[in-house]
Amino acid sequence: MKNALPTSTDAVHAGERVDRPHHTLAPSIALTATYTFDDSDDLERFMRGEDPDPGRLDYGRYGNPTVREVEARIAALDGTEDALLFPSGMAALTTTILAFVKAGDDVVLFRDTYRRTRQFVVNMLSRLGVSHTLLEPGDLDGLAAAIGPKTRLVITEMPTNPYLRCVDVERLAEICKKTRAKTLVDATFATPVNAMFSAMGIDLVVHSATKYLGGHNDVLGGSLSGPSSLLSLVHEARDVLGAVSDPHAAMLIGRGMKTLSLRVSRQNQTALAVARALEAHPAVERVYYPMLESHPDHAIAKKHLAGGGGVVSFVVRGGKDSARRVVDACKLARIAPSLGGVETLIEQPAIMSYSELGPEELLAVGIAPGLVRLAVGIEETEDVVADLLEAMDAAAGA
């Protein structure tokens, strides 16, 4: 790694405000929808941009001090000039995309990008006259050929969901720097602890703060990090579209971030142990985890990631019914979507995320019927491994 990844000290202190009112250690929650002015002269001074307080605001849709402190902390962890907070990861993505494209533009993304991101670009943006180009996972030769004068954004994830595919981010950035296209990486699965994509040349970094940043499965949120010049465009779009974060949600995300490094370190460790145990199990057909030598993008993952993250995907022999028995036999892992929290979660994509698709349609979108996705929490590593192996054995004997 050629950049300094955030440490536990950074997670606790980087970007924090040191001049809090009343000298409180923890940040306050500014529960206000609007802000007041002493008189008309005070108001006019503010409107002219001459207020002595550069952080002063007039209305809640344009900002909040609690939210702003969390934004500064996310920017510090991502190594960027600024960051913006949103009420969900999809709000961060959609607001950002709308801020950069107009009718006649083209957006390039990979087929294994998060399905809701694909749906927004392919279905909704097309109604607005914005075209799209879909590339095969990791196809950077295809990317170089696909970028044209109308390309405004190139979107990828690192790693992807659910197969944890990894793209050579530095090469992707180099290709796009020669054009007008801006790069956007959804770094939710990587987290700032495992990768600092801004140092690799990426323009914009998105996180679903619901996942690792919040870390406790109790709050929705999303963030965008990048240079101030680009984020000012997104800030303006957010003011209009109204995708603003609630200050209480911001507080929960900020509190969760204090333990981010500790949690991700444990999740890296546990997920790798789970992946190795599953790879040795006879009932498992294939394991997908970027830090396994068997993963197709292992070399890229080792180059760009400090750890593989907390998600392990694997295919159970026997298909959909066999995978279902494994999921149902788990006692520690709870059946639920999402990832990055303190609790271990498990799901079968064929009946969770893609329940509306039949067998042939599942295969067409690359989802194996026997695929299981495990998102490890911070329980003891040996307990998570034992729970899954016991479930495998119980399912085999059912």
Residues 388 and 333: beta-carbon distance below 8 Å: yes
Mean predicted confidence (pLDDT) in 89-108: 98
What confidence tier does 177 reach under pLDDT thresholds 50, 70, 90? Answer: very high
pLDDT of residue 3: 58
**Residues contacting 194, CB < 8 A, separation 6+:** 5, 264, 268, 305, 306, 307, 308, 309
Task: Quickly count: other Cβ atoms within 10 Å of residue 248's Cβ.
Answer: 13
**What mean pLDDT comes out for the span 151-173?**
97
Residue 179 binned pLDDT confidence (cut-offs 50, 70, 90): very high
**β pairing state of 131-135 and 82-86:** unpaired
CB 184 within 8 A of CB 197: no
Per the CB < 8 A criterion, the answer to whether 89 and 97 are in contact is no
Q: Model confidence over 292-336: pLDDT tens digits?
A: 999 999 999 999 999 999 999 999 999 999 999 999 999 999 999
* One-letter amino acid for residue 354 of the chain: Y
pLDDT above 90 coverage of the chain, percent = 89
pLDDT score of 208: 98
pLDDT digits (tens, 9 = 90+) for 225-258: 999 999 999 999 999 999 999 999 999 999 999 9
DSSP state for residue 312 in the 8-state scheme: E
Question: pTM score, two decimals?
Answer: 0.95
| Model confidence band, residue 365 (pLDDT cutoffs 50, 70, 90) | confident
Mean pLDDT of 39-64: 95
Q: Please state, in angstroms and rounded to a whole number, the distance separating the CA atoms of residues 209 and 187.
A: 10
How confident is the prediction for the chain on average, in pLDDT? 95
pLDDT in tens, 252-276: 999 999 999 999 999 999 999 999 9
DSSP state of 34: B
1 band by pLDDT with thresholds 50, 70 and 90: very low
Place 358 in a pLDDT band, splitting at 50, 70 and 90: confident
